[in-house]
Amino acid sequence: MKDETRKFQKFIQKSNLLWSIEREIITNQVFDNHFHFTADDLFIQLNEKGRKISRATVYRTLELLEKSSMVSKIQLASGKHFYEHIFGHKHHDHLICQKCGRMIEFHCEDIEQWQEKISTENNFKMAGHCLKIYGICADCMKKKSKNKPK
Protein backbone atom coordinates (compact mmCIF):
# COMPACT_ATOMS: atom_id res chain seq x y z
CA MET A 1 0.00 0.00 0.00
CA LYS A 2 1.24 3.47 -0.84
CA ASP A 3 2.29 5.74 2.01
CA GLU A 4 -0.40 8.18 1.01
CA THR A 5 -3.02 5.49 1.07
CA ARG A 6 -1.92 4.42 4.51
CA LYS A 7 -2.20 7.99 5.71
CA PHE A 8 -5.73 8.21 4.35
CA GLN A 9 -6.57 4.93 6.00
CA LYS A 10 -5.50 6.41 9.31
CA PHE A 11 -7.74 9.41 8.68
CA ILE A 12 -10.68 7.13 7.94
CA GLN A 13 -10.09 5.15 11.09
CA LYS A 14 -9.64 8.24 13.23
CA SER A 15 -12.93 9.50 11.85
CA ASN A 16 -14.66 6.32 12.98
CA LEU A 17 -15.30 5.21 9.46
CA LEU A 18 -14.46 1.86 7.95
CA TRP A 19 -11.64 1.01 5.62
CA SER A 20 -12.61 -0.89 2.49
CA ILE A 21 -10.95 -2.40 -0.54
CA GLU A 22 -12.74 0.14 -2.75
CA ARG A 23 -11.30 3.04 -0.78
CA GLU A 24 -7.88 1.48 -1.07
CA ILE A 25 -8.10 1.00 -4.83
CA ILE A 26 -9.46 4.49 -5.43
CA THR A 27 -6.87 6.12 -3.21
CA ASN A 28 -4.04 4.30 -4.91
CA GLN A 29 -5.35 5.48 -8.25
CA VAL A 30 -5.67 9.06 -7.01
CA PHE A 31 -2.03 9.06 -6.00
CA ASP A 32 -1.02 7.56 -9.33
CA ASN A 33 -2.31 10.68 -11.03
CA HIS A 34 0.45 13.19 -10.75
CA PHE A 35 -1.48 16.06 -12.23
CA HIS A 36 -5.08 17.22 -12.40
CA PHE A 37 -7.88 14.78 -13.03
CA THR A 38 -11.66 14.65 -12.96
CA ALA A 39 -13.81 12.22 -11.01
CA ASP A 40 -14.73 10.66 -14.29
CA ASP A 41 -11.10 10.30 -15.38
CA LEU A 42 -10.63 8.26 -12.27
CA PHE A 43 -13.72 6.16 -12.87
CA ILE A 44 -12.57 5.36 -16.40
CA GLN A 45 -9.02 4.55 -15.30
CA LEU A 46 -10.36 2.12 -12.74
CA ASN A 47 -12.65 0.58 -15.30
CA GLU A 48 -9.78 0.11 -17.73
CA LYS A 49 -7.90 -1.71 -15.01
CA GLY A 50 -10.91 -3.98 -14.68
CA ARG A 51 -11.89 -2.59 -11.30
CA LYS A 52 -15.65 -2.48 -11.05
CA ILE A 53 -16.25 0.40 -8.68
CA SER A 54 -19.32 2.55 -9.03
CA ARG A 55 -19.27 6.20 -9.87
CA ALA A 56 -21.02 6.93 -6.56
CA THR A 57 -18.19 5.37 -4.62
CA VAL A 58 -15.60 7.32 -6.58
CA TYR A 59 -17.38 10.57 -5.76
CA ARG A 60 -17.87 9.59 -2.13
CA THR A 61 -14.22 8.71 -1.72
CA LEU A 62 -13.03 11.91 -3.39
CA GLU A 63 -15.20 13.83 -0.96
CA LEU A 64 -13.54 12.07 1.95
CA LEU A 65 -10.11 12.64 0.49
CA GLU A 66 -10.97 16.32 0.26
CA LYS A 67 -12.08 16.35 3.90
CA SER A 68 -8.82 14.71 4.87
CA SER A 69 -7.00 17.59 3.14
CA MET A 70 -5.05 15.15 1.02
CA VAL A 71 -6.84 16.14 -2.18
CA SER A 72 -8.23 19.43 -3.37
CA LYS A 73 -10.90 20.29 -5.85
CA ILE A 74 -10.38 22.93 -8.54
CA GLN A 75 -13.19 24.54 -10.44
CA LEU A 76 -12.51 25.67 -13.97
CA ALA A 77 -14.34 28.43 -15.78
CA SER A 78 -15.73 25.71 -18.01
CA GLY A 79 -17.62 24.44 -15.00
CA LYS A 80 -15.66 21.21 -14.81
CA HIS A 81 -14.22 20.08 -11.51
CA PHE A 82 -10.69 18.83 -11.37
CA TYR A 83 -8.95 17.23 -8.46
CA GLU A 84 -5.33 17.03 -7.53
CA HIS A 85 -3.63 15.44 -4.63
CA ILE A 86 -1.98 17.89 -2.31
CA PHE A 87 -0.46 15.58 0.27
CA GLY A 88 3.26 15.96 -0.18
CA HIS A 89 2.84 18.95 -2.47
CA LYS A 90 2.88 22.45 -1.14
CA HIS A 91 -0.01 24.79 -1.78
CA HIS A 92 -0.09 26.39 -5.18
CA ASP A 93 -2.39 28.28 -7.51
CA HIS A 94 -2.81 28.01 -11.27
CA LEU A 95 -2.16 29.76 -14.52
CA ILE A 96 -4.63 28.31 -17.01
CA CYS A 97 -4.18 28.54 -20.77
CA GLN A 98 -7.41 29.41 -22.53
CA LYS A 99 -6.14 27.89 -25.79
CA CYS A 100 -4.79 24.48 -24.83
CA GLY A 101 -6.06 24.03 -21.29
CA ARG A 102 -2.57 23.65 -19.90
CA MET A 103 -2.23 24.41 -16.21
CA ILE A 104 0.92 25.87 -14.75
CA GLU A 105 1.33 25.78 -11.02
CA PHE A 106 2.77 28.65 -9.04
CA HIS A 107 3.09 29.79 -5.50
CA CYS A 108 3.42 33.36 -4.36
CA GLU A 109 3.86 33.90 -0.68
CA ASP A 110 3.15 37.62 -1.00
CA ILE A 111 -0.26 36.97 -2.49
CA GLU A 112 -0.98 34.48 0.26
CA GLN A 113 -0.06 37.09 2.86
CA TRP A 114 -2.21 39.79 1.30
CA GLN A 115 -5.17 37.46 1.34
CA GLU A 116 -4.75 36.91 5.06
CA LYS A 117 -4.53 40.64 5.56
CA ILE A 118 -7.69 41.32 3.57
CA SER A 119 -9.58 38.64 5.42
CA THR A 120 -8.55 40.05 8.75
CA GLU A 121 -9.52 43.56 7.70
CA ASN A 122 -12.97 42.26 6.88
CA ASN A 123 -13.38 40.24 10.08
CA PHE A 124 -13.57 37.25 7.85
CA LYS A 125 -12.32 33.88 9.00
CA MET A 126 -10.50 32.63 5.92
CA ALA A 127 -10.71 28.92 5.32
CA GLY A 128 -9.27 28.67 1.85
CA HIS A 129 -9.00 30.39 -1.45
CA CYS A 130 -8.99 29.87 -5.15
CA LEU A 131 -6.82 31.87 -7.48
CA LYS A 132 -6.73 31.22 -11.17
CA ILE A 133 -5.02 33.38 -13.73
CA TYR A 134 -6.40 32.96 -17.22
CA GLY A 135 -4.53 33.74 -20.41
CA ILE A 136 -2.39 32.25 -23.14
CA CYS A 137 0.64 30.13 -22.41
CA ALA A 138 4.03 30.65 -24.02
CA ASP A 139 3.64 27.67 -26.35
CA CYS A 140 0.28 28.79 -27.63
CA MET A 141 1.57 32.30 -28.15
CA LYS A 142 4.30 30.92 -30.39
CA LYS A 143 2.24 28.34 -32.21
CA LYS A 144 -0.90 30.40 -32.55
CA SER A 145 -2.35 27.03 -33.34
CA LYS A 146 -5.90 26.24 -32.40
CA ASN A 147 -5.57 23.31 -30.04
CA LYS A 148 -8.89 22.64 -28.49
CA PRO A 149 -9.06 23.23 -24.74
CA LYS A 150 -9.58 20.28 -22.43
**Segment near DNA (CB under 7 A), from 15-23, 102-110, 119-127, 130-138?**
15-23
Can residue 120 be called a binding residue for its own copies (CB under 8 A)? no
Angle at 25 between CA 129 and CA 43, to 5 degrees: 65
Q: What is the closest distance, in whole angstroms, from the C-beta atom of residue 6 to its own copies in the complex?
A: 28
Q: How many CB atoms lie within 10 A of CB 10?
A: 12
Task: Of 107, 112, 106, give the one whose Cα is nearest residue 126.
Answer: 112
Q: How many CB atoms lie within 10 A of CB 83?
A: 20
Among 53, 100, 103, 137, binds DNA (CB under 7 A): 53
**Segment near DNA (CB under 7 A), from 9-17, 89-97, 100-108, 127-135?**
9-17
Can residue 39 be called a binding residue for DNA (CB under 7 A)? yes
